[in-house]
Amino acid sequence: MSVAGAPESASPETVAGRSCDGCTLCCKLMAVREINKPRAVWCTHCDKKSGCTIYDTRPFGCRVFYCGWMTAADLGPHWKPLTARMVLSHHTAHNWLVVHVDPGRPDAWRAEPYYSDLKAWSRHMTPKGGRVMVWQGDRVFAVLPDGDVNMGTMRDDEDATDMGRRRGTDAGPLEAAKGISS
* Predicted local distance difference test score (pLDDT) of residue 167: 47
Residue 87 CA, chain-centre distance (Å), reads 6
Helix (H) or strand (E) holding 71: helix 68-71
User: Are 140 and 164 a contacting pair, CB within 8 Å?
Assistant: no
* Predicted local distance difference test score (pLDDT) of residue 11: 59
Helix (H) or strand (E) holding 28: helix 26-29
Q: What is the pTM of this model?
A: 0.83
Categorise residue 35: left if φ over 0, alpha if ψ from -120 to 50, beta otherwise.
alpha
Higher pLDDT, 91 or 148: 148
- DSSP state letter for 37: B
- Asked whether residue 66 carries a pLDDT value surpassing 70, the answer given is yes
The candidate with the shortest Cα–Cα distance to 172, out of 122, 129, 137, 128, is 129
Structure confidence by residue, pLDDT tens digits, 143-167: 999 999 998 888 766 655 555 455 4
Q: How many residues does the structure list for the chain? A: 182
- Asked whether residue 94 carries a pLDDT value surpassing 90, the answer given is no
Q: Cα–Cα distance between 169 and 103 in angstroms, integer?
A: 30
Structure confidence by residue, pLDDT tens digits, 103-144: 999 999 999 999 999 999 999 999 999 999 999 988 999 999
Residue 77: pLDDT band (50, 70, 90) is: very high
- Asked whether residue 80 carries a pLDDT value surpassing 50, the answer given is yes
Structure confidence by residue, pLDDT tens digits, 3-62: 444 444 455 789 999 998 889 999 999 999 999 999 899 999 999 988 999 999 999 999
For range 76-87, the mean pLDDT: 96
For range 72-88, the mean pLDDT: 96
* Predicted local distance difference test score (pLDDT) of residue 161: 58
The pairing of beta strand 96-101 with beta strand 131-136:
parallel
Sign of CA dihedral 153, 68, 43, 162: positive
The candidate with the shortest Cα–Cα distance to 154, out of 39, 73, 72, is 39
Domain ranges for the chain: 67-177
CB count within 10 Å of CB 26 equals 24
State phi, psi for 113 to the nearest 5 degrees: -90, 5
* Predicted local distance difference test score (pLDDT) of residue 174: 52
Q: Cα–Cα distance between 167 and 164 in angstroms, integer?
A: 5
